[in-house]
Chain A
Amino acid sequence: MKRDTRLAWINGLLLPLLNVLTAFAATAVLFLLIGVNPLEAAETLLYGAFGYSEGIGYTFYYTTNFIFTGLAVAVAFHAGLFNIGGEGQAYIGGLGAGLAVFMLFPELSPWLMIPASVLGAMLFGGAWASVPGYLQAYRGSHIVITTIMFNFLAATLMVYLLVKVLREPGQMTPQTVLFPDNAWLPFVHDILPAFGLEMERSPLNLSILLAVFMCFLVWFFLWHTRLGYAIRVTGLNPHAAVYGGINQKKIIVVAMCISGALAGLVGINELIGYHHRIIMNFHLGYGFGGIAVALMGRNHPFGIVIAALLFGTLYQGGAELAFEWSNISRDIVVVMQGLVILFCGALEYMYKPTLIRWLAPVQEVRS
């Protein structure tokens, strides 16, 4: 095999695989440390995630969120931007979805109401992300710091709105009134019987179809549109972008806007699909989780679906583990996310020099 081909294999397959395996191995070591047999844990976990239909429902419900935020982080990555503000964008997206519902006529057909709420979520999430994008492109502020600050701003804004402005009258809990039922996205367990299938009740709703559709859309957008092409050139080689007549500033704002819109869709799955009202902290952890999903999925929609499914499985399976072992909770997934980001992101090239030395050493070029 030629050295170039070997290098392509190392970079394209071997390295990412080794990185993910390292993250898994580190998790296994943690299980051993806390006195849990990793194999037993894996079995329990898989049973919890896929062993019964309610579990499956939950698994895919969580997967839906991870797909949205994973796509969000990936689109920004393709433009060379690190969007760490998925948390805030998801939160504000939920607000947009809810406000769309409250502002429209309660008797509006669900066929209009639900698309309107999707639009609201995307608009709000996108607008929230476009501000840091704008500040990066035109004012030179660092997008990472600004998006972090915007996460906190989103959190305080939502607390204020839910406590002071939108709270259900007469209730102590900071949440809004229930949405009218024409703004409820149907549950999968309500739909399946029409196809002669049975499923236990679970929060899984039709947002998952939206997520799959978005994967396709993002793939199509990045690889089949002018704008997507421009985004990828900008992210990979800014000099070539200038040479190619691409307006980088515009691209930064647009990419952030799309990224935020995708993150905002978490609000659809959580609020329109399940809680049916705006509640506090429905978004917690999904924005950061999206970073792990995007890194593991190599920023490709297909990889993101796989990675999101993995984290969805862990999320639901983690809950099952908690029944079995009192010292495990769903936080094990958070640990795993951290490890994935560490090994697939920060330490991405840790094995590279070794692998190259072993498998594709530089041949002497004759002079």
Chain B
Amino acid sequence: MSEVTTLNDMWMTILLTLDATIRLSTPLVLAAMAGLFSERSGVVDIGLEGKMLAACFASASVAHFTGSPWLALLVAVFISLCLALVHGFATITHKGDQIVSGVALNILVSGLTIILGLTWFRQGGQTPSLSGDGRFFSIDLPGAELMQNVPLIGSLYKELLSGHNILVYAAFALVPVVWWVLFHTRFGLRLRAVGENPKAVDTAGISVNGLRYRAVMIGGVLCGIAGTYIAIAHNAQFTRDMTAGAGYIALAALIFGKWRPVTVLMACLLFGFLQAFAMRIEGVQLPVVGVIPVQIIEAVPYLLTVILLAGFIGKAIPPKAIGKPYVKER
């Protein structure tokens, strides 16, 4: 084996790991942006997981029946939006506990998807695997084939940037949009204000509840897209609890990124990379350290979040009014 091929292999390994990072980060980015809207408005969203899972099931089912991924996306978004409205109804209208409400939705969805799946498909709670049409397929960016012979850059372009499905590109394009909306529009200004000091917003004559509902609804829409991605773009069917904690990891990324779009994106990429890395090194003998148990790497996002929250590295200061229902009358 020549030096060149070894180097080449290593380069490809790196590229494939990064490629997997992007695929695994996509739902995290979408869900974290969903959480960002909600939490910036002062509403804690533990229910990211549940909304995504519901969207997974909805999109996989609709894609199976209609064969249209776009229709599947639409329905998934609608379902996730409905759940977001339930959360809003409980926590904004009725001033219920935001965490209890989120937990309720997560548990409810985790059971409901199985029961409905059994009723409709009788496959142990799964949806039938999609073949062909019903999925979002990868898009080859122009010139990917031509570029592949250009050393380094060519493979980088072809393997890393090209060949993802539309939702991946949408997720990453979303981040600058979120940033822009948050910091350069009237809605963004009011949203940030309502999460910090709702009374200031109220005394300025703006409806606190209206703003919070809108934020929670945007969160619903984005979770719908995230779930659709997991079920019919990244996978090809719905399986039990298939979000596997992605909602909670997104929540951790949101905290780790201190509720700011760009740093949250970085946190999502970091957590996505850790997942991709864990898969790649499973059982692989590494130089010096030997075999690293996958679980240690998997645990890193959770550990980092705990350590950050405890104020041992930097400090994550949440929006000040987060978790508190806004009560006007004394």
Select which of B112, B251, B298, B310 is within 8 A of A338 by beta carbon.
B112
A341 with B107, Cβ < 8 A, contacts A140-B311, A152-B302 known: yes
Indicate if the CB atoms of B103 and A288 lie closer than 8 Å: yes
| Contact partners of B109 in chain A: CB under 8 A | 338
Pick the contact of B97: A328, A336, A345 (CB < 8 A): A345
Convert B104-118 into 0s and 1s, putting 1 for each residue whose CB lies closer than 8 angstroms to a CB of A: 111111111011101
**Which of A153-161, A235-243, A356-364 touches B?**
A153-161
Contact A149 B305 (CB under 8 A): yes
Q: Which residue of A157, A329, A333, A349 has the most chain B CB atoms within 10 A of its CB atom?
A: A329
B90 interface hit (Cβ, 8 Å): yes
Assess whether A342 is interfacial by the CB under 8 Å rule: yes
A139 to B306 alpha-carbon distance, docked (Å): 11
> A339 vs B122: C-alpha distance in the bound complex, in angstroms?
24
Q: Is A99 an interface residue (CB 8 A)?
A: no
* Chain B min CB distance to A308 (Å): 16
* B218-240 contact mask (Cβ, 8 Å, vs A): 1 or 0: 00000000000000000000000
B110 touches A135 (CB 8 A): no
A342-B108 contact in complex given A135-B309, A148-B248, A335-B115, C-beta closer than 8 Å? yes
A145 near B305: Cβ-Cβ < 8 Å: yes
In the assembled complex, the Cα of A345 lies from the Cα of B46 at a distance in Å of 15
A135 CA / B303 CA spacing, docked (Å) = 13
Within the complex, the shortest CB–CB distance from B39 to chain A, in Å, comes to 11
Q: Given the interface contacts A337-B107, A347-B90, does A327 sit within 8 Å of B306 by beta carbon?
A: no
Q: Which residue of A has the minimal Cβ distance to B322?
A: A142
Judge whether B104 and A342 touch: CB under 8 Å.
yes
Count of chain A residues near B, Cβ 8 A: 49
Instruction: Please state if A157 and B299 are interface contacts (CB–CB under 8 Å).
Output: yes
Tell yes or no: A11 within 8 A of B by CB. Answer: no
Q: Which range holds the interface residue count of chain B?
A: 35 or more
Taking a contact as CB atoms under 8 Å apart, the answer to whether A339 and B108 are in contact is: yes
Nearest Cβ distance between residue B23 and chain A, in whole angstroms? 21
Interface centre among B111, B252, B296, B309 (most CB of A within 10 A): B111
- Chain B contact surface mostly: helix
A-B CB contacts (within 8 Å), total count: 153
Question: Does A25 touch B at the CB level, under 8 Å?
Answer: no
A346→B293 contact, CB < 8 A: no
Cβ–Cβ contact A347 & B94, under 8 A = yes
A310 is an interface residue with CB less than 8 A from chain B: no
Q: Is A35 an interface residue (CB 8 A)?
A: yes
Select which of B101, B299, B306 is within 8 A of A346 by beta carbon.
Answer: B101
In the bound complex, do residue B115 and residue A139 qualify as a contact, i.e. CB atoms below 8 Å apart?
no
| B194 CB–A CB distance under 8 Å | no
Residue in A34, A145, A336 with the greatest tally of chain B CB atoms within 10 Å: A145
- A331 touches which one: B46, B90, B125, B248 (CB < 8 A)? B125
List of B residues within 8 angstroms of A342 by Cβ:
86, 90, 101, 104-105, 108
Task: Chain B residues near A84: list those with CB within 8 A.
Answer: 99, 103
Chain A residues closer than 8 Å to B305, beta-carbon distance: 145, 149
B101 pairs with A139, CB closer than 8 A = no
Q: Is the CB of A145 within 8 A of B97?
A: no
With A338-B104, A342-B101, A342-B108 given, is the CB distance from A149 to B302 under 8 Å?
yes
- Separation of A53 and B299 alpha carbons in the complex (Å): 43
> Given A34-B115, A156-B295 in contact, is the A135-B100 Cβ separation under 8 Å?
no
Question: Which B residues lie at the A interface, using CB under 8 A?
Answer: 46, 86, 89-91, 94-97, 99-101, 103-112, 114-116, 118-119, 122, 125, 245, 248, 251-252, 255, 293, 295-296, 298-299, 302-303, 305-306, 309-312, 318
Q: A residues bordering B, Cβ < 8 Å?
A: 30, 34-35, 82, 84, 135, 139-142, 144-146, 148-150, 152-153, 156-157, 159-160, 163-164, 288, 291-292, 295, 326-329, 331-339, 341-342, 345-350
List 25 A–B pairs whose Cβ atoms lie within 8 Å, in order of A's numbering: A34-B119, A146-B309, A149-B302, A149-B305, A152-B245, A152-B302, A153-B306, A156-B298, A160-B293, A163-B295, A288-B107, A295-B100, A327-B115, A327-B118, A329-B125, A331-B112, A331-B115, A334-B108, A335-B112, A338-B106, A338-B107, A338-B109, A338-B110, A346-B101, A349-B96
Closest 9 CB pairs of A and B: A338-B108, A334-B111, A346-B101, A141-B309, A335-B111, A341-B104, A342-B104, A327-B119, A346-B96
| 9 further contact pairs, Cβ within 8 A, besides A84-B99, A338-B106 | A34-B119, A135-B309, A135-B310, A144-B46, A335-B112, A338-B108, A339-B104, A346-B94, A346-B97
